[in-house]
Structure 1
Amino acid sequence: MNDVEGHVLHGLLEEASGDIVIRLDRHGFMIHASANIAELGLDLSCALLLPHITDLAERDHAGFLGEHVSAVLAGRTQIGWIEFPVVACAERDTCREAQCQRWYALSLRPMCDTNGTPDGALCLMRSVQRLRSLEGELHSRAVTDPLTGLANRQAFCASLRRHLARGGGQMVAVFAVDSMRALLLRYGQRTADEVLWGFAKFLETMTQSLTAPGHELAQLDGERFAVLLPEMTARCAREWAEDVLTTFAGLAAPTSAKAPQLTASAGLARVECTVDWTLREAELGLVLARAGGGRQVATAGHRRAA
C-alpha cells in the first residue's frame, strides 16, 4: 500500500468509527482490512489464502455481491451502497443459524496506481442490522393486531388476493363472539379484551388441529375473526365451524348464575370474485347466523356481484 492509499485509508478509519474498511485488489480479493473485521469472524493475518469479498456474504447473496463489485471495479456501474447479509461468527463456514446473520451496507471507491491504472478498490462496510430489525418490527406491527397478536385485516386481505390470483375456490369462515356489545357495556373494556384474547387463542388451537395445510387465521376487526380453509369442501368447512362453536360453548359454560354465557357464531363463503365480495359474503353469513339466535353457522348463498 503506497502513502496516498494509506492516507486515504486512515482518513476513512477516522471518519467511520465502527465501520469496517477493506482494501481489495483488482480481482476483488481482500488484501487488507481494519482490525474490526474480527467482528465478522475473520482474521486476514492468519489467512493462508486471500479471501474474496464475496466470502463475507451469506451464500444466497454472494452472487449478487460479486456482480456488483465486479461492475464497480470495471467501471460499468455507479458507486453506491448495497446491502447484504453476513454470517458473522467464528464458524462461518458451517454456521447457518439465524442469530449469526447480520446485515451490512457496502460502498466501494475504485483506486488507481500512480500511472492511473485501475488497482482495486477501498470498501466501507457499515452495519444496518438495527435498521433492518426496526423495519421488520414496523412491518410486523403494521400487519398484526396488538391485542391478540394475530394477522390483521390488511394481512388477511393480501393473502386472499394471492389466492384469487391463483383461481380462488377456498373456503373462508368468519367467527365472532355473540353479544360482545352487551358484554362490553356490562363488564367494561378490560373484560371484553380478555374475552377476545381468549377466543383468539381458542381459534388458534382449533386451526392448529386441522390436518389440511395452509390454513390462516386473522382478526378482521375488534370482534370478528377470519379463518382461511384451503383444501376443504363447503360441507367439511361447515362441519369444522360447527365443531368450533360447540367446543367453545362447552369450554365457556358459566360456572355460576352470575357469569355470562359466552357463545359464538360463524359465516361461511367461498373465495371468489374479489376480496371485498368474499368477505362481504362471509360477514353476511355471520349476520344471518346471529339473527337466527347465534351459536350456529350460516351462508349467504351463491350470489354474484353485479
Structure 2
Amino acid sequence: MKIGLSDVEGRVLHGLIEDASGDIVIRIDRRGFIIHATANIAQLGFDFSEALLLPHITDLAECDHAATLGDHVSAVLQGAQPSGWVEFPVAAAAAQDPAGVPHGQRWYAFSLRPMIDNDGSIDGALCLLRSVQRLRLLEGELYNRAVTDPLTGLANRQAFCAGLRRHLAGGGGQMVAVFAVDGTRALLLRYGQRTADEILWGFAKFLETMALPGHELAQLDGERFGVLLPVMSLRAAREWAEDAVQTFAALAVPASARAPQLTASAGLARVECTVDWTLREAELGLVLARAGGGGRVAVAGYRRVA
C-alpha cells in the first residue's frame, strides 16, 4: 500500500534507502499501521499494493513474537527512547516463495525512529527491517561446534553434563551408562591414531543404532561414551547395555587371526547428587567391568560384575 509522502519524509526515506542497501524501509502511522513500504518487502511474501485495510506492523512477525514487537513499537510511538534492534522471525505466510514453497523460519532485525510533526508530536515512525538470517545460522553453527565432538558428531562432555544438570534439576533418578572400547590405548600404540579414530567413530555409530528413542548420546573424552537412559529402570538399563556390549562383540569378530578382537564394556549409575558424582559412579562401574576381563557391564553401587 503506497500513500504519498511529504517532501521532508521523502528525503528522509530516500536517505535511509541509500544508507541501508538491501534493508526494507517501512512507514507506519501513530497507531503502528503500515502506510508505506519499499518494494523489496515483496521478498517476505507481502504485497500491500492491493490491500483494502492497512496492515499492522505486528502482522509481519510470527504469532509468538508479535506481542514483543508490538510493545516495542508502541513504546517508541508514545515517546520512549528507541532501544535498538528487535529480532523476530517473519510470519509463516511470509516464509515462503511466490509458489508457496516454505523457506522455514527466517529472522529479521527491526529498528524504528519516530517522525516528529510540526507541533512536536509524534506522527508515526520510519522503520528498517534487516535480515539477520545469516547471523542466526552462523550463531547456530558456532553453538553446534561448541557442543559437538568433531570426530564422531555426537554431543561432547559439556553438552552431556548440561543434560544431566537438567535432569538433576527435575529430581534425577534416571540411569546413565558410560561405554568404552576395551584396550583403546593398546590399539592406539599398535595401530596408530588413524586406526584408533576409525574404531571410535565406528563404535559411536554403533551406539547410535543401538540407542532407543529418548536416549541421549555423547563422547565424554577420547575413549569413553555416555548414554543417558531417561525412561529405564536399573534392570532395563542393564539389559540394554548388556545387549549393546554383546552385539558389538558379535559384530566385531576379526576377519583373521592377526586382527584384534574388539570388545566394549560399560558402567551404569543412577543420576543423583551431582553431575560429577553421577559420572564418577558410572565410570567406576566401567573400571569394574574392565577389571572382570572386559566385554561386560557393571554397576558400581553393587560392586558386582555381570
TM-score range, shorter chain: over 0.9
SS class of match (1:186): helix
Name 2:40's counterpart in structure 1.
Answer: 36
Q: Find 2:174's aligned residue among 167, 170, 174.
A: 170
What code does the residue aligned with 2:72 have? H
Question: Does the 8 Å CA contact 2:24/2:37 hold for their aligned counterparts?
Answer: yes
Q: Residue 2 in 1 paired to residue 6 in 2? A: yes
Could you give the per-residue CA deviations for residues 8-67 of structure 1, whole angstroms, max 9, x where no partner exists?
A: 111101111111110001111111111111111122222222211111111211111111
Name 1:119's counterpart in structure 2.
Answer: 123
TM-score by length of 1: 0.92
Name 2:287's counterpart in structure 1.
Answer: 287
| Distance (Å, rounded) in 2 between the aligned partners of 1:2 and 1:77 | 24
Name 1:65's counterpart in structure 2.
Answer: 69
Question: Does the 8 Å CA contact 1:79/1:109 hold for their aligned counterparts?
Answer: no
What code does the residue aligned with 1:154 have? Q
SS class of match (2:152): coil
Question: Does the 8 Å CA contact 2:265/2:286 hold for their aligned counterparts?
Answer: yes
SS class of match (1:283): helix
Q: Residue 133 in 1 paired to residue 143 in 2? A: no
Name 2:57's counterpart in structure 1.
Answer: 53
Question: Does the 8 Å CA contact 1:86/1:103 hold for their aligned counterparts?
Answer: yes
Superposed CA RMSD in Å reads 1.7
Structure 1 residue 299, shift from structure 2 partner: 1.9
Name 1:74's counterpart in structure 2.
Answer: 78
User: Identity, % of aligned pairs?
Assistant: 78
Question: Does the 8 Å CA contact 1:177/1:265 hold for their aligned counterparts?
Answer: yes
What code does the residue aligned with 1:233 have? S
Could you give the per-residue CA deviations for residues 196-218 of structure 1, whole angstroms, max 9, x where no partner exists?
A: 1111111011113xxxx532111
Runs of 4+ in 1 over 6 A off after TM superposition: none
| Distance (Å, rounded) in 2 between the aligned partners of 1:181 and 1:149 | 21
Could you give the per-residue CA deviations for residues 257-305 of structure 1, whole angstroms, max 9, x where no partner exists?
A: 12111000011111111000000110011111111110011122269xx
Structure 1 residue 77, shift from structure 2 partner: 5.0
Q: 1:265 to 1:79 in 2, by over 3 A?
A: closer
Name 1:243's counterpart in structure 2.
Answer: 243
Structure 1 residue 89, shift from structure 2 partner: 4.1
| Distance (Å, rounded) in 1 between the aligned partners of 2:196 and 2:297 | 23
| Distance (Å, rounded) in 2 between the aligned partners of 1:100 and 1:244 | 38
Structure 1 residue 231, shift from structure 2 partner: 2.2
Q: Where in structure 2 are the equivalents of 1:258-277 lying within 5 Å?
A: 258-277=258-277
Q: Find 2:109's aligned residue among 97, 105, 108.
A: 105
Name 2:29's counterpart in structure 1.
Answer: 25
Task: Could you tell me which runs of 5 or more consecutive residues in structure 2 were left unpaired when the two chains were aligned.
Answer: none
How many aligned positions are there?
296
Name whichever of 108-117 and 176-185 sits farther off: 108-117
| Distance (Å, rounded) in 1 between the aligned partners of 2:104 and 2:23 | 18
| Distance (Å, rounded) in 1 between the aligned partners of 2:169 and 2:266 | 26
TM-score by length of 2: 0.92
| Distance (Å, rounded) in 2 between the aligned partners of 1:79 and 1:298 | 57
What code does the residue aligned with 1:241 have? A
Question: Does the 8 Å CA contact 1:79/1:108 hold for their aligned counterparts?
Answer: no
| Distance (Å, rounded) in 1 between the aligned partners of 2:96 and 2:179 | 50
Structure 1 residue 78, shift from structure 2 partner: 3.4
What code does the residue aligned with 2:236 have? C
Structure 1 residue 180, shift from structure 2 partner: 0.7
Question: Does the 8 Å CA contact 2:82/2:112 hold for their aligned counterparts?
Answer: no
What code does the residue aligned with 2:290 have? R
SS class of match (1:131): helix
Question: Does the 8 Å CA contact 2:178/2:286 hold for their aligned counterparts?
Answer: yes
SS class of match (1:265): strand
SS class of match (1:172): strand
| Distance (Å, rounded) in 2 between the aligned partners of 1:281 and 1:39 | 56
What code does the residue aligned with 2:203 have? F
Structure 1 residue 115, shift from structure 2 partner: 2.2
